[in-house]
Amino acid sequence: MDDRSILESADSKMNKGNNNLRSSSSAPSSDFDREEDIDPEYYDVKKRTFKILYSWEDAINKIDFKNTSKKDWILEGYNLSSEFRNFQQSTIQQVKEKSYLCYKQDIQKILCLSNVMLIESTKPAYLTCNHEIWNKVCQRQTYPRLSSVVNSIILEYSLLLNSFTPPDKIQEKWCENFSRIAELNNKEDKDDFCKCQIILRNFLLLKSINNDNEDTFVHDGLHDLIKEIFRDSMFELVWANSKSSASNKENTIKCKKPDFKLMSNKGDEILFGEVKPKDSLSISTKKDLVKLANFQADALNDLIKKYGNRIGIISLGARIRIYEMDLNYDGVYRMILIANVITPMEHAQFLNLVPVLEAFYNFKHRISEVLTVIASNIPPNSPSRSTYGRVSTPSPKPVRITIAGLRPN
């Protein structure tokens, strides 16, 4: 396979259905030092003759940015909204002068063009608040959702696995454990216990999960987990092949499909999922994070128009990272990391299921609270919040640049 076919194969992986790939013989020299926005596994770095960059040249004039605000986020004297707008303005100016942004290095800049503030443990450099205040911003209060019965049987199964108990003996113990439902008092705990038993069985009997193949990973590692937790009359879980209706309406340029989405029984989109089983620092994961943010923001706009100032939205990301987005302040979609857990890939990681299940049940509880409020007849707290929304920025254009004499990394 020659260099061109290697790269075109990589391009097809990155841009399924995208016929807008541009070619260029030159680019600003400073961009040559940037890492390509393509996973190196797709091509031979020693033979490469092209570089892939992403240009926001066509999108920059469509950014829905306002330098005024009806309500700012002010915390202990710091106007975080104002600092975020300043960061947006500087990013817009940078893109006008040099249209390329890199998913590896510029994720905050890419998100801010869609008015999204990413809130994770590392404080963004553009904010001047101290780390103590930022830690308060990031910290979330969670509650134990697993019953003591479920916790005890998880530990019991782990001990059986560690003692190399034969699968048929583990299966027998699993069947016997259903009798422990009598130890639970309320219907919700009993329902959750049965769901957890089904989820646990899937991981008890696995040999290992192939995390190199996304479809296999989803089938073996996530499908039963998500299906059982959201087996509820309030929800409808839709896997793949379904575009986001909110994104379709708001911006036809980016009518993309999430890996899965969760809908209420009224048809409202309330959760989106992007699955990447590999390294969470990979380029494809960064791109999925941006896509996830746009899905969230568009769906949040749609829900606010219907229900006013009383909803949030939670989405599942890869690895598993769970984000909640709100629009409490004008033009600032706060995308807050609320859980970061790892799905077990093998028996040695079986106890990882405790934080995974806790995280899932916590955000399911949060979604249920949101749906309860939506279904109520309580008037919205602030109808004017519907004016806080912004339209997401169109997708950038991938540009393939011929490079002469570029030394391999």
Per-residue pLDDT tens digits for 34-56: 445 454 444 445 555 677 788 99
The predicted pLDDT at position 126 comes to 96
Tens of pLDDT along 363-387? 888 888 877 777 666 555 555 567 8
Q: Is 42 within the bounds of a domain?
A: yes
Cis peptide before 181 (omega within 30 of 0): no
User: What's the domain count of the chain?
Assistant: 2
Of the pLDDT bands very low, low, confident and very high (cuts 50, 70, 90), residue 13 is very low
Looking at the fold, whether 371 and 398 belong to one and the same domain comes out as no
Looking at the fold, whether 193 and 229 belong to one and the same domain comes out as yes
Residue-wise burial string across 205-219, b where 16 or more C-beta atoms lie within 10 A, e elsewhere: eeeebebeebeebbe
The predicted pLDDT at position 314 comes to 58
All residues at 6 or more sequence positions from 53 whose CB lies less than 8 Å from its CB, including other chains: 27, 31, 34, 36, 37, 100, 102, 398, 399, 401
Looking at the fold, whether 183 and 68 belong to one and the same domain comes out as no
Amino acid letter at 107? I
Instruction: Give the three-state DSSP class for 364.
Output: helix
All residues at 6 or more sequence positions from 51 whose CB lies less than 8 Å from its CB, including other chains: 27, 31, 32, 36, 400, 401, 403, 406
- Angle among Cα 8, 12, 15 to the nearest 5 degrees reads 125
The predicted pLDDT at position 159 comes to 95
Q: Is 123 within the bounds of a domain?
A: no
Instruction: Report the first-to-last Cα separation within the chain, whole angstroms.
Output: 21
Average pLDDT in the chain: 78
The CA distance from 227 to 138, in Å, is: 29
Q: Is 408 within the bounds of a domain?
A: no
Domain range for 215: 148-388
Looking at the fold, whether 78 and 102 belong to one and the same domain comes out as yes
pTM score of the predicted model: 0.80
Which segment, 53-57, 280-284, 299-303, 319-323, is predicted with the most confidence on average?
Answer: 53-57
Question: How many other C-beta atoms lie within 10 A of the C-beta of residue 137?
Answer: 17
Contact 364, 229 (CB under 8 A): yes
Please name every residue paired with 69 in a beta bridge, in sequence order, or none if there are none. Answer: none
Q: How far is CA 65 from the centre of its chain?
A: 23
Looking at the fold, whether 223 and 172 belong to one and the same domain comes out as yes
Looking at the fold, whether 303 and 174 belong to one and the same domain comes out as yes
Closest CA to 297 of 74, 104, 112: 112
Looking at the fold, whether 267 and 291 belong to one and the same domain comes out as yes
| Residue 342 structure tokens | 């790892």
Range 176-200 average pLDDT: 94
Looking at the fold, whether 109 and 179 belong to one and the same domain comes out as no
Looking at the fold, whether 12 and 77 belong to one and the same domain comes out as yes
Of the pLDDT bands very low, low, confident and very high (cuts 50, 70, 90), residue 278 is low
